[in-house]
Chains A and B, each alone.
Chain A
Amino acid sequence: GNSVTQMEGPVTLSEEAFLTINCTYTATGYPSLFWYVQYPGEGLQLLLKATKADDKGSNKGFEATYRKETTSFHLEKGSVQVSDSAVYFCALSDANTNAGKSTFGDGTTLTVKP
């Protein structure tokens, strides 16, 4: 079956530091890959996605590249802000099945200190 493995947290960084959160996956076929972000007390919201190999998703300064050869989708940001403090989830969906059956990683909690 499908699975997603995320870098264990929590991660604590100083403002303006470089962020990497690792995500690797196991899936049959050609999944779509997502990063969702969950701010305190809220539901998850899409941060970025990539639907095929070598695609780069980007949003709000965050980037992730779909690497089929290493089955990875690592999240990066060059300079984090205090407002980026949240829980980040990597997820995948099979291209041919309902996106509502997504598989999620365990989540990585990021805290950014001023």
Chain B
Amino acid sequence: NAGVTQTPKFQVLKTGQSMTLQCAQDMNHEYMSWYRQDPGMGLRLIHYSVGAGITDQGEVPNGYNVSRSTTEDFPLRLLSAAPSQTSVYFCASNPQRSGSSEQFFGPGTRLTVL
């Protein structure tokens, strides 16, 4: 199993550009999430999905869209990039609804918006 994979690893955008961060998992996990990691602020939840066709907002959803057309894929779209979206983005999945299950994280995408 490859686990959770993310592409690209690094990206530089100009203000106003759009792009999609890709995330895929091959563990047949129902639940997937996107977090952003900023210095001194831990991880903050952007959007999450409890299954194909179902998504919901997390703590910091503004400026981001998601969709979940398959169990495996959960892309994150930046509609019009802003410097405040400079961050490291992590995708995660977990196998069950219970809050006791661990999350499996991808390696991250480091995004810089100029």
Contact = CB atoms under 8 A, between A and B. Distances in A.
A17 interface: no
Give the bracket for the number of chain B residues in contact with chain A: 20 to 34
Contacts of A94: 99
Given A32-B99, A49-B100, A98 B107 contact: no
Question: Counting chain A CB atoms within 10 Å of each CB, which of B41, B97, B101 scores highest?
Answer: B101
B102 A49 contact: yes
A79 B22 CA distance: 39
Nearest to B31: A100
Contacts of A49: 100, 102
Interface residues of A, number: 28
Contacts of A41: 107
Contacts of A4: 42
Contacts of B100: 32, 49, 51, 93, 95, 99
Nearest to A45: B105
Contacts of B45: 100-102
Interface string A51-75: 1000000000000000000000000
Given A43-B4, A43-B90, A89-B43, A97 B99 contact: yes
A102 B103 contact: yes
A44 B33 contact: no
B105 A95 contact: no
A99 B98 contact: yes
Contacts of B102: 34, 46, 49, 99
11 contacts: A89-B43, A93-B100, A99-B94, A99-B96, A99-B99, A100-B33, A100-B92, A100-B103, A101-B58, A102-B103, A106-B41
Interface of B: 4, 31-33, 35, 40-45, 48-50, 58, 90, 92-94, 96-103, 105-108
Given A44-B92, A49-B100, 14 more contacts: A46-B102, A46-B103, A49-B102, A89-B43, A95-B99, A96-B99, A99-B97, A99-B98, A99-B103, A100-B32, A100-B103, A101-B58, A104-B35, A106-B40
